[in-house]
Amino acid sequence: MSVKESPAATSTFADLFGRDPAVRADAPGRVNLIGEHTDYSGGFVLPLAIPQRTRIELGPRIGPLVRAWSANVESPEILEYRLGDEKPVHGWLDYVQGITDVLRQDGYTLRGFDLRIESDVPVGGGLSSSAALEVSLLRALREAFGLEIDDVKIALAGQKAENDFVGAPVGIMDQMASSLADDKTALFLDTRSLQFERIPLPAEAEIVVIDSGVTHSHSAGEYRVRRQECERAAELLGVRQLRDLGPQDLWRLPSLPEPLDRRARHVITENARVRSAVAALRERDLPRLGKLLYASHESLRNDFEVSIPEIDDLVELASEEPDIYGARITGGGFGGSIVAVARRGTGRKAGERIAARYGESGKRKATVLVPTA
Ligand code: ADP
Ligand code: MG
């Protein structure tokens, strides 16, 4: 068999595999409007899809061989493995192997396939390129092999692949958003029951995401610590998860050792803010929604301690923009992006002004990633 070496990032499916694809599928990245660090406590989240998507082209093969290629990796090359012989290689192929491994474990019958991946979701930028890859691949496999798997099961299979095969202890928000949300509708999701409701974004609103350009290598370790702190706080308060507590329980928190009291306060108040944000969206009350975003940021900075000075600066600059209703850190924290709600039609310009002022010293550079419009 001939395998081409490092085909150019512009290679088509036909260039790579010598035939046309049988199936095409895609799935979006996501941004979380509010409800941060609540999912592993069984709480509420409110993500939207973003316009950027991961696109899959797939052609079934005879036999168990899988050949996969992505345009979004350094020096793209065709990688191979056999179904039933999935082994982590600690690279992007693990996302593909994880999906076929999970599907086979769940009793689905697959055959080998050729796969081309291309995405305009920034990879590793906190907009969930990983879920976009998992969900788009699962959609392509569903179509190619006639799998009976619904959109919620697709989200669960993506999460399981990422948890068990890739080894990233992520919650279910990213995959549910990629599988079920769109860029004009927020997904109000109960991460424990997986019940969800679609909440349209008011026509007067626009979402802006600004990347701080800062990534922190210890964020995975901090994430684990926050998870453990939330579990411990729930245990000490005698509930299964912090999600089982509401604002009426806040008086109990001083009994917890520091910093568990503040961690619990963030989760409890954030869950309440998600509900209020849903009400604000329904009433098209964007100033109220904006205040909730600022309050979420304060809570993530002071109580959950996952912000950094650069992100705080971006939120501060956003608060000085008259067309921005509210802003906060989004994603796991310790770097990454802010999400802001702006008056429709103004988001791109406001975002660029914020990025320009943030970068004035020349030492740091912000990027406006997403105005949905
Ligand atoms: P995020 O989901 O925020 O973008 P993650 O670290 O969760 O960041 O996932 C990024 C990883 O997912 C990449 O390092 C890569 O292994 C894989 N990945 C995502 N999109 C692609 C793609 N288009 N092609 C190849 N690998 C991808
Ligand atoms: Mg991810």
Query: What secondary structure does DSSP assign to 214-275, as a single string?
Result: ---TTHHHHHHHHHHHHHHHHHHHT-SSGGG--GGGGGGGGGSPTTHHHHHHHHHHHHHHHH
Higher pLDDT, 284 or 369: 284
Which atom from ligand 1 is nearest to the alpha carbon of 123?
A: 4
Indicate whether 180 pLDDT > 80. Answer: yes
Which atom from ligand 1 is nearest to the alpha carbon of 162?
A: 7
What is the overall mean pLDDT for the chain? 95
- Residues contacting 70, CB < 8 A, separation 6+: 76, 92, 116, 117, 118, 119
Using the mean position of ligand 1's atoms as its centre, give its distance from the Cα of residue 182 in Å: 20
- The burial of 89, by beta-carbon neighbours within 10 Å (0-12 exposed, 13-18 middle, 19 or more buried), is given as exposed
Q: Which residues surround ligand 2, an ion (CB under 5 A)?
A: 128, 130
pTM attached to this predicted model: 0.93
In the chain, what percentage of residues exceed pLDDT 70?
Answer: 97
The predicted structure's pLDDT at residue 6: 65
- The CATH number of the domain covering residues in 2-190: 3.30.230.10
CATH topology of domain 203-370: Alpha-Beta Plaits (3.30.70)
Indicate whether 350 pLDDT > 70. Answer: yes
Using the mean position of ligand 1's atoms as its centre, give its distance from the Cα of residue 355 in Å: 25
* Range list of H helices, the chain: 13-17, 93-105, 129-145, 151-160, 173-180, 219-237, 260-282, 286-302, 309-319, 347-358
Indicate whether 370 pLDDT > 80. Answer: no
Q: Which pLDDT band holds residue 258 (cuts at 50, 70, 90)?
A: very high
Residue of 39, 101, 174, 211 marked catalytic? 174
In the chain, what percentage of residues exceed pLDDT 90?
Answer: 88
182 noted as active-site residue? no
- Residues contacting 205, CB < 8 A, separation 6+: 286, 289, 325, 341, 342, 343, 344
The predicted structure's pLDDT at residue 372: 62
Indicate whether 373 pLDDT > 60. Answer: no
Q: Which residues line ligand 1 (CB under 6 A)?
A: 54, 70, 72-73, 92, 95, 117, 119, 123-130, 133
Using the mean position of ligand 2's atoms as its centre, give its distance from the Cα of residue 30 in Å: 10
The predicted structure's pLDDT at residue 369: 86
The predicted structure's pLDDT at residue 3: 45
The predicted structure's pLDDT at residue 2: 40
Beta bridge partners of 206: 342
Tokens of 12: 């088509």
Measured in whole angstroms, the distance separating CA 367 from the mean position of its chain's CA atoms is 18
Domain ranges for the chain, please list them: 2-190, 203-370
| Edge-first strand listing for the sheet containing 367-371 | 324-330, 337-343, 205-211, 367-371
Tokens of 13: 């499916």
Q: Which pLDDT band holds residue 216 (cuts at 50, 70, 90)?
A: confident
Using the mean position of ligand 1's atoms as its centre, give its distance from the Cα of residue 12 in Å: 21
| pLDDT digit string, tens, across residues 86-140 | 999 999 999 999 999 999 999 999 999 999 999 999 887 788 999 999 999 999 9
The predicted structure's pLDDT at residue 219: 77
Q: Once rounded to an integer, what is the mean pLDDT over residues 171-196?
A: 95
Angle at 167 between CA 163 and CA 168, to 5 degrees: 65
Of 1-15, 103-117, 327-341, the range with the highest mean pLDDT is 103-117
